[in-house]
Structure 1
Amino acid sequence: MTQLYFLCTGNSCRSQMAEGFAKQLLPQAWTIQSAGVERHGLNPRAVEVMAEVGIDISQQQSKLIDPTYLKQCDLIVTLCGDARDRCPVTPPSVKKLHWPLPDPAQANGTPAEQLAVFRQVRDEIKTKVQSLVVRD
């Protein structure tokens, strides 16, 4: 069984979307979680844009990194530089990937323009999660 952890600063947008896609797209034998170096709460726009593609993340919660789970992971994916830089030390056996994606919560403009940024990041995350299927 492959154990996967998606990490972001606040575990509110990018890592939550990645967890949602991974639970849908990766083999059921995978154990998948997301967390942050801080807890910022689940972003409602992330929930909204994931619902647009048929994935309900509304029951997910913003969590802090669990050191025990982290050390047992086969793969850790950081979705921002802050999480990559602040991630606790892991054993050498833990593979790490870094996906430097923009933070959609920082998007400016009208609500429609902000949603467009969320959709763009969501679609990038989906493509990257799909690439993990090929690796398995």
Structure 2
Amino acid sequence: MRQKVLFLCTANSARSQMAEALLRQLAGDQFEVFSAGNMPEEIDPRTLATLQSFGIDSGGLVAKSVAELAGQHFDFVITLCSKAHRECRHWPGSGVVMAWDFPDPKQRPEPNAFARTLQEISERIRLFVLVNSKQVQPLPPPAALTFYKALADETRLLSLLLIERAGELCVCELVEALASPQPKVSRHLAQLRRVGLLLDRREGQWVHYRLHPALPGWMAGIIHSTREHSGELLALPLQRLRDSANPPGSRVQGATQ
């Protein structure tokens, strides 16, 4: 029997809709997924456009009021903003209540706010699936020495920094960015995956990589800080990505392994 998960935010127009669509796509065979809002509005068109641009099925998404789901039991009630958590933390009949607080993409200043929010929620969703799935066990985090050894190779370091910047990249994008043969890039990515730094997923024939969602905060922080202070090192790889036929975030790119 699938466990029931309810995502809540105030308007049910962006964050909770993203979470519903993501969990359905990633683990719809394990979880029955719903979303609702305390004061529901129409789904923001940018939410649907962003989901579609990342190849995530947005069919069936409808803004709903919390009141419409009253009386139902949920194994997990997950709030995505502090206001929703304050108002719904005593959801009747709920099992585990979790508070995830993500900035409202409608109020974020960056031009790619909706895409960034989707990536952030995706990382948390993937960790949720890993922790709560009986079929998948998360890898233990790498030891400090293993972590620093992984950063000592140029191909692995650049791959980590580019993936951290984009949120997710496929093999072919990294081949373009690094101007390296596909077997070499795949070999280094496989090594990063084996030690627990990366998580991969297959979408049809394409293989995509992202930072492992269970990565300890201090390790993720070092990768992020290194990327922020490596503008000169990343300039050429980023230019190659911009010049390539499949820019970062495209859902038509990929490479088989």
TM-score band by shorter chain is 0.7 to 0.9
Q: Which has the higher mean CA deviation after the structures are superposed, 90-99 or 75-84? A: 90-99
How far is the alpha carbon of 1:27 from its aligned partner?
Answer: 4.5
Which has more radius of gyration?
2
Structure 1 partner of 2:98: 97
What are the equivalent positions in structure 2 for 1:1-136 lying under 5 Å apart? 1-57=2-58, 59-65=60-66, 66-69=69-72, 72-87=73-88, 89-91=90-92, 94-108=95-109, 113=111, 116-136=112-132
How far is the alpha carbon of 1:56 from its aligned partner?
Answer: 2.7
Question: 1:42·1:61 contact (CA, 8 Å) conserved in 2?
Answer: yes
**What's the Cα RMSD here?**
1.8
Question: 2:71·2:93 contact (CA, 8 Å) conserved in 1?
Answer: no
Identity level (%): 31
In structure 1, how many angstroms separate the alpha carbons of the residues matched to 2:19 and 2:94?
22
Question: 1:47·1:56 contact (CA, 8 Å) conserved in 2?
Answer: no
Which whole-Å deviations, capped at 9, do the CAs of 1:80-126 have from their partners, x for residues lacking one?
001001116235861011111000112347xxx1xx11111100011
Question: 1:17·1:46 contact (CA, 8 Å) conserved in 2?
Answer: yes
In structure 1, how many angstroms separate the alpha carbons of the residues matched to 2:71 and 2:16?
19
In structure 2, how many angstroms separate the alpha carbons of the residues matched to 1:24 and 1:93?
23
Go from structure 1 to structure 2 and tell me whether the alpha carbon gap of 1:38 and 1:5 turns closer, same or farther (over 3 Å shift).
same
Question: 2:8·2:84 contact (CA, 8 Å) conserved in 1?
Answer: yes
3-state DSSP class of the match of 1:74?
Answer: strand
In structure 2, how many angstroms separate the alpha carbons of the residues matched to 1:93 and 1:122?
26
TM (normalized to structure 2)?
A: 0.47
Which whole-Å deviations, capped at 9, do the CAs of 1:14-33 have from their partners, x for residues lacking one?
00000000001125131100
Which aligned runs of 4 or more in structure 1 are off by greater than 4 angstroms?
none
In structure 1, how many angstroms separate the alpha carbons of the residues matched to 2:82 and 2:70?
19
3-state DSSP class of the match of 2:71?
Answer: helix
Number of positions where the alignment pairs a residue of Structure 1 with one of Structure 2: 129
Structure 1 partner of 2:161: none
In structure 2, how many angstroms separate the alpha carbons of the residues matched to 1:60 and 1:27?
14
3-state DSSP class of the match of 1:83?
Answer: helix
Which whole-Å deviations, capped at 9, do the CAs of 1:20-67 have from their partners, x for residues lacking one?
000011251311000000111111001111111101325411001111
Go from structure 1 to structure 2 and tell me whether the alpha carbon gap of 1:68 and 1:93 turns closer, same or farther (over 3 Å shift).
closer
Code of the aligned partner of 2:100: W
